[in-house]
Chains A and B, each alone.
Chain A
């Protein structure tokens, strides 16, 4: 596996994405909503009815931070769907498959082209989010809550494995559908586990501490590995040219 070749595929895809407005919408809109809207909502809540108790405030901030994981699953879904199904529709995969690249290099390139914009967008948004939240919550808490080890674990461990899960799932879905919209719709199934985590935290079934986050990340990592093998079996030249719809 030559990383340089995978990087070439990824940079070509970045160039293509730069000219596709519809790919930019989720990359921009979702992080902006999380990083700007949530602190504004928090500020609005704090300014009404005499504010929010500190314990509730912390709980709210932790649950808001889970949206970074949902974003990490959402953004690569649209990118990976376009990058594979889009090429399938344009029938531009065959020349790429006929080039001296291994299946793994093409797959890694496609995965990187979906992963890197996601990480950049979500990490940039997290900086704005933490700054905004700290400004809004300081008066109630008396200290700056962010950054802390919990959100560090969430952003640096859970977020990448969640994004990889979404990418692997998209690749598998892409082999079965013929348009980007269907790929995104089917791919949206990947949200359910994360929605489950969010609901479990809101209903106090789980507590979002570092241990819990690491356990969740570990489980998702195992699923990532399993899906990696399924997606590499799906993303094979012969499969693509003869069995993909």
Chain B
């Protein structure tokens, strides 16, 4: 649904986005992670045909960005929730949505149905005639999402949708995004909330001018070495230590009744260790993997690229 190949944006001598190549499938929730100034919003603006690319290519729903005719078609395919909600504060929620419905050529009946559907889904229907300017931050964010959905777009692009929201409002928005996934919408989620990305994204890309990593959250976690397995035993005996030394564990340390060693792929590497301990009469109490999760991976990749 979204494809980029070497997509680059320069502002004068500053490279904002450097040779970005990625693919987002239809119906996928793709998390675009990166620190401030990483080029995330610039990428979104290029994809929405708001700013021009310097080089490379990108296609949205089969339309290549970069020419005027395709720009209008691409914008019809996309619903954008910008980082600033950008509502007309002097208009009611209903009027805000009705205006955009007209812009997207929705018929009156479609607009009425669509406004009711999205406002009910987001719990704003009862306050549809209230001025948007009087809404709370969370309500405004929801209304901005409703506006992006008014024409039932195939692709929803969200730029930091839960930034500045309280936990409850964030959860509502996250739940709503997951609900949209059920409707087979392709969702491009720009965020630096790693917990959010981990919870709702099928895949994530870590960006810092260049794309540093891309994959499923659980696949990215081991990308940076540094995780450790911690095994607590009832008692660490000499037999256990001798047996473990035979299977070349990296940086094995023993502290009391706890063993710690470096691990790259815990799913594959931990079970032979546990098996060895049991074979020599050890009693395993707990096995834990500590160290790098997606956040650590993110920080490591971002810092190494800074």
Interface of A with B (CB < 8 Å)?
5, 8, 12, 15-16, 19-20, 90-102, 237-238, 241-242
Find out whether the CB atom of B11 lies under 8 angstroms from the CB atom of A90: no
Residues of chain B contacted by A95 (CB below 8 angstroms):
80, 82, 86-87, 100, 144, 147-148
Query: Is B90 in contact with chain A by the CB < 8 A criterion?
Result: yes
Q: Which residue of A lies closest to B76 (CB)?
A: A100
Q: Which residue of B lies closest to A105 (CB)?
A: B103
CB pairs A–B below 8 angstroms (25 shown): A5-B103, A8-B103, A15-B95, A16-B88, A16-B90, A19-B90, A91-B82, A91-B84, A92-B86, A92-B87, A93-B86, A94-B82, A95-B87, A98-B48, A98-B78, A99-B104, A100-B73, A100-B75, A100-B76, A100-B103, A238-B50, A238-B51, A238-B52, A241-B51, A242-B11
Residues of chain B contacted by A97 (CB below 8 angstroms):
50
Q: Counting chain A CB atoms within 10 Å of each CB, which of B52, B75, B99, B104 scores highest?
A: B99
Find out whether the CB atom of A98 lies under 8 angstroms from the CB atom of B11: no
Bound Cα distance from A99 to B99, whole angstroms: 11
Residues of chain B contacted by A99 (CB below 8 angstroms):
75, 100, 103-104
- Least Cβ distance of B139 to chain A in Å? 16
The number of chain B residues touching the other chain, given as a range, is: 20 to 34
Residues of chain A contacted by B131 (CB below 8 angstroms):
19
Bound Cα distance from A5 to B103, whole angstroms: 7
Bound Cα distance from A182 to B6, whole angstroms: 42
Find out whether the CB atom of A8 lies under 8 angstroms from the CB atom of B99: yes
Residues of chain B contacted by A19 (CB below 8 angstroms):
90-91, 131
Knowing A98-B80, A98-B82 touch, does A241 contact B103 (C-beta < 8 A)?
no
Q: Which residue of B lies closest to A12 (CB)?
A: B99
Query: Is B184 in contact with chain A by the CB < 8 A criterion?
Result: no
Residues of chain B contacted by A15 (CB below 8 angstroms):
90-91, 95
The 4 closest A-B pairs by CB, nearest first: A91-B84, A98-B80, A100-B75, A92-B86
- Least Cβ distance of A98 to chain B in Å? 4
- Least Cβ distance of A104 to chain B in Å? 11
Bound Cα distance from A15 to B49, whole angstroms: 28
Q: Which of B52, B72, B84, B103 contacts A94 (CB 8 A)?
A: B84
Residues of chain B contacted by A12 (CB below 8 angstroms):
88, 91, 99
- Least Cβ distance of B166 to chain A in Å? 21
Q: B75-110 CB contact bits vs A (8 Å, 1 = yes)?
A: 110101010111111110001000110111000000
